[in-house]
Amino acid sequence: MLNLNRITSFRYGIREIMVNHEVSESIASSVVASVIAKASRMSIDTARDYVLDQEKAGSYPKAVSDEILDLLDRYSRHR
């Protein structure tokens, strides 16, 4: 599960990843919201699967998904 005590920092970090890699705002906002919802309500694994599915769909390059997966690992409650 996502550590909700640090949700603001997580949200900032994932937004920075999207901005740095110039992902379009419409895709970025959808991905950010979905990743946060899945990671906080379901599980980190579900959020990781979603990130990888979006990469396969061509929403963003592999570098973006690698950074998001790393961020998810750092902000998970259980490692």
60 vs 9, 26, 72, CA distance in Å? 22, 12, 17
pTM of the model: 0.90
pLDDT at 12: 96
pLDDT at 41: 93
pLDDT over 70 percentage in the chain: 97
Give the whole-angstrom CA distance, residue 37 versus residue 26: 17
Q: Where exactly are the structural domains of the chain?
A: 4-74
In tens, the pLDDT along 19-74 reads 999 999 999 999 999 999 999 999 999 999 999 999 999 999 999 999 999 999 99
